[in-house]
C-alpha cells in the first residue's frame, strides 16, 4: 500500500505530464470558476457571507474559506487575491476575528479601510458583495499573543486595530489572566472601528483597560504623549504591541525606549499606505536578487538586467529592448520605472521586464 504522500506525489507527477502545468490541480480552474468559484484550486477560494459597514470608510467582510484552508492564530494576516479590471492583485490584511469564530462556524473577518487612491481597497468597498468569491492565502505573521500570559500594552492607530480586535476577543474568551491595556488612536470619534465591540469587551473582560483617543477633534492635534504611558501600571513589565500609521509607531518607539522598554518587548506590524511614487528624478537603489541571494546597489538609469549582469548573474534575456519578454521575471517588492513608457510600477508583487525596468529605491526580484 502506498503512503498517501507517495500517492499525492505520483498524482501530481501524472497531472504535470498530462496538463503541462506546474500546478496541475488548477488546469480545470477556468471551467470550474464558471460552475462554482468555490471549486477553484489555484488559491483557496473564500465566499463573502456578509459585509458590515463599520465607519464612513471602513467595512468588515465576513468570509467563509473553502475547507482546505489551514486556519490562523490571533494577530496573523493573510494575502487575498482578486482580479481588478483583468489584473490579479494581491494584498495583505490582518484578520480581525478570533480563531474561535473560524473553529465554530468556519468564518473569518477582514476589516478594511478605504485607502485614498488604493486600487484594491476601493474596489473591495465598491464592488465586493455578499456571495462573491475572492482568493485567500494561508495565514502568516508573528504578531502573536504572549504565551504564557504576561501583561500587555496595545498601541493601535486607525485600521491598525484589526489584529488587536482578533487578539482581544481571543484573550477575553479564554480569560487571559494578566492586565491588558489598549490605547486606540483615531482621527475623530466617527473613525472608531468596532467601537461597540470594544466597549462590550471591556465591560465583560475586567482585565482590559480601554482608552480611545481622538487626535483631531481639537484645533491642536492630540497625539500619543509620555503621560499616556506613564499612567499605565507596570509599564516596564509589559509586552508592547504596535500597529498603526508610521508616525504613531515612530512616536511610540521613541517614548517607549525613553522609558526603558527593551526592543525585544516591542512587537510591531506596519499599516501605512504606500508612499506616493515620485515621477522622474531619483533612480537607482539597492537591488536584491532573491533566488541568487545577491544584493547590490545601483545608481542612475541602469536597468535591472544590467545591474544583475554587473553583479555576475546571468538571468535569461533576449532582445534587450523590451520586445521579447525573455527576461520577464517576478518583482517581489519595490518600485521600478519602465524605461520605455516612463511608467512607475506599484510597490507590490508583479511581473517586470528586467531590460527596461529601472529601480527607484530598494527593489527585490526573483532572479
Partner 1 sequence: MKKLNETQLQELEQDLDAIRDDVLADLGERDAQYIRRMVRLHRTLEIGGRVLMPFGFIPPVFVAATASLGVAKILENMEIGHNVMHGQYDWMNDPNLHSQTYEWDTVCSGDSWRRTHNYEHHTYTNIIGKDRDYGYAVLRLSDDEKWKPWHALQFINYVLLTVLFQWGVGLHELETEKLHRREIRWRDKLPFLKEFARKGGRQAFKDYVFFPLLTLPVAPIVLAGNISANLIRNLWSSTVIFCGHFTQDAETFTEEECEGESKGHWYLRQLSGSSNFTGGRWLHILSGHLSYQIEHHVFPDLPAHRYPEISERVQAVCRKHGIHYNTGSFFKQYGTVLKRIGQYSLPDRMRLRLERANAPQAI
319 near partner 1, judged by CB under 8 A: yes
353 near partner 1, judged by CB under 8 A: yes
Cα–Cα dist 166/194, whole Å: 11
Please state the closest distance from residue 26 (CB atom) to partner 1, in A: 6
What would the grid cell of residue 199 be? 466597549
126 near partner 1, judged by CB under 8 A: no
Cα–Cα dist 136/138, whole Å: 7
Binding mask 238-257 for partner 1 (x = CB under 8 A): --------------------
- Helix (H) or strand (E) holding 157, with range, is strand 152-157
Number of H helices, E strands in the chain: 9, 16
Candidates 17-25, 47-55, 233-241, 302-310: pick the segment binding partner 1 (CB under 8 A): 17-25
Interacting residues of 278 by C-beta distance below 8 A, sequence separation 6+: 344, 360
Please state the closest distance from residue 123 (CB atom) to partner 1, in A: 12
Bridge partners for 145 per DSSP: none
Please state the closest distance from residue 38 (CB atom) to partner 1, in A: 18
34 near partner 1, judged by CB under 8 A: yes
314 near partner 1, judged by CB under 8 A: no
122 near partner 1, judged by CB under 8 A: no
Among 31, 70, 126, 276, binds partner 1 (CB under 8 A): 31
Among 6, 11, 12, 18, binds partner 1 (CB under 8 A): 18
339 near partner 1, judged by CB under 8 A: no
Among 6, 21, 254, 295, binds partner 1 (CB under 8 A): 21
Concatenated DSSP letters for 321-350?
SSSS-TTEEEEEEEEEEETTT-PBPPSSSE
**Cβ burial, residue 362 (10 Å; 0-12/13-18/19+):** middle
Shortest CA distance to 63 belongs to which of 112, 21, 1, 118?
112
Instruction: Enumerate binding residues for partner 1 (CB under 8 A).
Output: 14, 17-18, 20-23, 26-31, 34, 42, 83, 85-89, 316, 318-319, 321, 323-326, 328-329, 341, 350-351, 353
Amino acid at each position: 500500500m502506498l503512503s498517501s504522500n507517495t500517492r499525492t506525489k505520483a498524482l501530481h507527477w501524472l497531472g504535470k505530464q498530462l496538463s503541462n502545468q506546474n500546478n496541475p490541480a488548477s488546469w480545470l480552474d477556468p471551467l470550474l470558476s464558471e460552475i462554482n468559484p468555490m471549486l477553484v484550486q489555484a488559491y483557496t477560494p473564500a465566499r463573502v457571507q456578509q459585509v458590515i459597514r463599520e465607519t464612513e470608510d471602513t467595512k468588515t467582510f465576513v468570509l467563509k474559506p473553502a475547507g482546505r484552508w489551514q486556519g490562523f492564530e490571533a494577530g496573523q494576516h493573510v494575502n487575498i487575491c482578486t482580479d481588478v479590471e483583468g489584473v490579479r492583485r494581491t494584498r495583505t490584511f490582518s484578520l480581525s476575528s478570533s480563531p474561535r469564530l473560524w473553529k465554530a462556524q468556519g468564518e473569518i473577518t477582514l476589516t478594511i479601510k478605504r485607502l485614498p487612491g488604493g486600487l484594491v481597497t476601493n474596489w473591495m468597498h465598491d464592488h465586493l458583495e455578499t456571495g462573491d468569491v475572492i482568493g485567500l492565502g494561508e495565514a502568516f505573521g508573528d504578531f502573536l499573543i504572549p504565551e504564557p500570559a504576561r501583561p500587555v500594552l496595545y498601541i493601535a492607530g486607525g485600521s491598525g486595530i484589526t489584529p488587536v480586535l482578533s487578539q482581544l476577543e481571543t484573550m477575553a474568551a479564554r480569560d487571559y489572566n494578566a492586565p491588558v491595556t489598549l490605547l486606540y488612536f483615531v482621527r475623530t470619534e466617527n473613525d472608531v472601528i468596532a467601537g461597540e465591540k470594544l466597549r462590550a469587551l471591556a465591560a465583560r473582560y475586567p482585565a482590559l483597560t480601554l482608552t480611545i483617543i481622538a487626535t483631531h477633534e481639537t484645533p491642536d492635534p492630540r497625539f500619543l504623549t509620555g503621560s499616556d504611558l506613564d499612567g499605565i501600571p507596570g509599564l516596564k513589565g509589559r509586552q508592547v504591541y504596535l500597529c498603526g500609521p508610521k508616525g504613531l509607531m515612530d512616536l511610540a518607539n521613541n517614548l517607549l525606549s525613553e522609558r526603558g522598554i527593551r526592543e525585544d518587548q516591542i512587537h510591531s506590524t506596519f499599516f501605512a499606505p504606500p508612499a506616493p511614487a515620485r515621477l522622474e528624478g531619483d533612480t537607482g537603489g539597492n537591488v536584491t536578487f532573491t533566488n541568487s541571494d545577491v544584493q547590490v546597489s545601483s545608481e542612475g538609469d541602469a536597468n535591472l538586467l544590467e545591474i544583475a549582469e554587473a553583479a555576475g548573474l546571468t538571468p535569461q534575456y533576449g532582445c534587450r529592448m523590451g520586445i521579447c519578454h525573455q527576461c520577464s521575471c517576478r518583482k517581489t517588492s519595490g518600485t521600478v520605472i519602465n524605461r520605455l513608457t516612463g511608467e512607475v510600477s506599484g510597490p507590490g508583487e508583479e511581473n517586470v521586464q528586467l531590460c527596461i525596468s529601472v529601480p527607484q529605491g530598494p527593489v527585490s526580484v526573483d532572479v
